[in-house]
Amino acid sequence: MRRRWWALPCAALVLTGIAPGAAAEQAPVQVRDGRSQPVFTADPVRETVWVETGLDGDGDGVVDRVAADVVRPSGTDRPVPVIMDASPYYSCCGRGNESELKTYDEQGRPVGFPQFYDNYFVPRGYATVLVDLSGTNRSEGCVDVGGASDITSAKAVVDWLNGRAPGFDAPSGGGPVEAGWSTGDVGMIGKSYDGTIANGVAATGVEGLRTIVPIGAISSWYDYYRSDGVSFGFNPSGLARTVEEGGRPDCGPAKQELDAGSPANGDVTPMWTERDYVPNADRVTASVFAVHGLGDLNVKTLHLGQWWDALAERDVPRKLWLSQTGHVDPFDFRRAEWVETLHAWFDHWLLGVDNGITEEPAASVERAPDVWADEPTWSGELAKDTVLHPREDGLGTQPGSGTASFTDDPSLDEYDWAADPDQPSPARALFSTAPLTSDVRIAGTGSVTVTATPSTPTAHLSAMLVDYGPATTRDYLGRGEGIRTLQTESCWGENRPGDDACYFDTEATTTDVDFEIIARGWADLANHESLSEERPLEPGEPQTMTFRLATTDHVVPAGHRLALIIGGTDSAFIVAPRQPGEIGLDLSATSVTLPVVGELPALTAAGPDKPSVRPERVPARPDVQLNRDVLPGS
């Protein structure tokens, strides 16, 4: 166990009136107004340590080592905590809005550290450690997309920082290196794949991991590639080859295992189960500061919702930001507030500073572009499940009767279905309320139950919840997913040769819409009995299935209509079944369960006249290349 100097009373850390220089640098940290101060001004130590993982992923008979690039304060003999970002993207794709890569000098020593963490936090008494996941950049082994190799890559470095794993000064051979400069206290941070690794490492319960900050992160890899029995049309082996920069020749068996474990029919397999971190949330001892875009159609909000719910059951200390953006880092949609809040968060959990961050509002939700609402506890934890029923006359609180039907047309998608609610369509069934008499807030993860009768042996289903009415939102479906990069720059921390702290500023992009899809879900009716084994459907025989909608936090304003749309193949997301056909719905046995905050106003169905709201501008559809996670800037 590392010695933690911050166990002393916090008042002892407040060293005011110390001039910069050697005396200040010998102090563990200087705190003023609840924040650590940039007193470590000398050039930091930069080094690479290769840490043994205990695995031999590439099958060469030698234990794999992963490269951990370290930058830490110089001129102090006091141990420091660590901010760590473990990523597969440091050489293939880059990190942040400017797709920064790691750089090295002629001797191979690290120079350029992507993003602002080192520039800002090292002068304040932290080390920053950027880890190349196994099989990427300068690390040995093979990528396994969220499996044992990926997670062990990062966990091994946490163990090394705590004196439990061997480190060396070379990728093979070399001399041993210990992290005597480390307190052993680690905070993991990262967006997308990086934040996913933070989730996975936290789910191991590794000692020394004090906090994680997952941003737009995956909690179950099955739910990234599949949804309740249907496929999104891509497999993890493609991502592995990308981050390995084409695929390493000795990693073929690892790719074969990925392909074998991800069948196209969308069944849950042991490979997917291994990569689901939610069941192990009870092992998490780290605090969690989660950030997610409500418009994120890459790492969908279901990942945040199911992870958050599991952590809530464990009563893990946690904080949440929900933006209107897509797959965007908070540094690029709320920069100053993000740096300030992150600073206070790390100071508390890694330096032991009693700065009140845990007494501040636990949740912050963007209600309109750049308009944020804070609350002491995220209301998604307090919402009550409310069941609504599709009826022949619309959507209401009382069960319906009769039937509805649609024909699966794989050339259409959710925006085709939603665009003309006042017009009948053979490709979907639409059920709407009358205009709401008061606001309705839906916060959390809902579900849809259908009793469907297919006309063929295969049937895929899509469902969506739609807010019909005019609004101005962030343009999360646009090119920047809700932001625009400007030509001006702002600087966050110390500039160093080859590693500056300045980044292009951004601003919100907005769009006027007449409807917004606020939650989606997809399923294969053949998996109605089990997600592990699909069974051929008997044409003409009804089957009942419940499947999940994505997590949301959305206020449907008074005067707007709330609608449920059920269709077949949503071509923006899922692949079509082998034999698309007609699907009938038994309305008396079909419903949608929504997490409603507060009281639900009296709802009336739309009546015989369907909503007469036709969008003046249909939002741009998501990029057909939905696996944006492998692209630069992810």
Q: What is the pLDDT of residue 616?
A: 35
Q: What is the pLDDT of residue 75?
A: 84
Integer Cα distance of 81 and 4 in angstroms? 9
Q: What is the pLDDT of residue 259?
A: 97
pLDDT digit string, tens, across residues 329-379: 999 999 999 999 999 999 999 999 999 999 999 999 999 999 999 999 999
Q: What is the pLDDT of residue 216?
A: 98
Q: Once rounded to an integer, what is the mean pLDDT over residues 544-567?
A: 98
* Backbone angles phi and psi of 168, in degrees to 5: -140, 165
Q: What percent of the chain has pLDDT over 70?
A: 91
Residue 166, in any domain of the structure: no
19: which residues sit within 8 A by CB, 6+ positions away?
A: none
What single-letter DSSP state applies at residue 423?
Answer: S
Q: 166 pLDDT band (50/70/90 cuts)?
A: very high
pLDDT digit string, tens, across residues 36-89: 999 998 899 999 999 999 999 999 999 999 999 999 999 888 999 999 999 999
Q: What is the pLDDT of residue 3?
A: 41
Residue 456, in any domain of the structure: yes
Residue 53, in any domain of the structure: no
The full DSSP string for 566-577 is EES--TTT-PPP
Residue 178, in any domain of the structure: no
Q: Once rounded to an integer, what is the mean pLDDT over residues 325-331?
A: 98
- Computed over every residue of the chain, the mean pLDDT equals 91
Q: What is the pLDDT of residue 28?
A: 67
The full DSSP string for 277-294 is -GGGGGG--SEEEEEEET
Q: What is the pLDDT of residue 633?
A: 38
Known catalytic residues are 192, 296, 327
Q: What is the pLDDT of residue 604?
A: 78
In 397-517, which residue ranges form alpha helices assigned H by DSSP?
A: 414-419
Residue 430, in any domain of the structure: yes
Closest CA to 633 of 444, 414, 467, 483: 483
Integer Cα distance of 161 and 619 in angstroms? 48
pTM higher than 0.95: no
Residue 125, in any domain of the structure: no
The residue among 23 and 48 whose pLDDT is bigger is 48
Give the bridge partners for 192, in sequence order.
Answer: none
Residue 302, in any domain of the structure: no
pLDDT at 19 over 70: no
CATH number for 436:
2.60.120.260
pLDDT at 556 over 70: yes
3-state secondary structure 33-94: CCEECCCCCCCCEEEEEEEECCCCCCCCCCCCEEEEEEEECCCCCCCEEEEEEEECCCCCCC
pLDDT at 234 over 70: yes
* Domain housing 527: 382-472+515-630
* Beta-strand pair 318-323/287-293: parallel
Q: What is the pLDDT of residue 242?
A: 95
Residue 260, in any domain of the structure: no
CB 477 within 8 A of CB 620: yes
Q: What is the pLDDT of residue 248?
A: 87
Q: What is the pLDDT of residue 618?
A: 36
pLDDT digit string, tens, across residues 1-11: 444 433 333 33
Q: Domain tally for the chain?
A: 1
Q: Once rounded to an integer, what is the mean pLDDT over residues 139-158?
A: 97
pLDDT at 615 over 70: no
pLDDT at 269 over 60: yes
pLDDT at 470 over 90: yes
pLDDT at 113 over 60: yes
Q: 599 pLDDT band (50/70/90 cuts)?
A: confident
The residue among 24 and 584 whose pLDDT is bigger is 584
Q: In what order do the strands lie in the sheet with 460-474?
A: 428-432, 561-567, 460-474, 510-524
